[in-house]
Amino acid sequence: MVLRPTDGGNVHALKAITPCAILDILSPPYSSKDGRHCSYFRRRQKSDPSGILWDRTRESEFVWLEEYQPRDNFVIRRDLYTGPTLDL
């Protein structure tokens, strides 16, 4: 699967230099049973040795990722949003 900024999913990267907290408001929220999964990825070595992908895109335009589980000290706390109504 190829994820692009306008096709394939919501992809973003954060890199903390010091301990931090992130507020992420999602509407609707993540829900595996409803098909809105939350997965974590990290860079991996390329897996296509040819240098050219099937759609003739240069490999240098891609970053290869692998799914992984965050460390045990990674904490997620969920809460119900009770702020103003969001008009989407």
Domain boundaries, the chain: 45-75
Q: What is the pLDDT of residue 83?
A: 84
Kindly tell me if the per-residue pLDDT of 6 is higher than 70. no
Q: What is the pLDDT of residues 31-87, one digit of tens each?
A: 888 887 888 888 887 665 555 555 555 556 667 778 889 888 888 888 888 888 877
Amino acid 16: pLDDT: 84
Residue 46 in tokens? 């390329």
Instruction: Specify whether the CB–CB gap between 53 and 29 falls below 8 A.
Output: no
Q: Is the pTM of this model over 0.75?
A: no
pLDDT given at position 1? 57
Scored b (16 or more CB within 10 A) or e, 51-80 reads eeeeeeeeeeeeeeeeeeeeeeeeeeeeee
Contact between residue 7 and residue 36 where contact means Cβ atoms under 8 Å apart: no
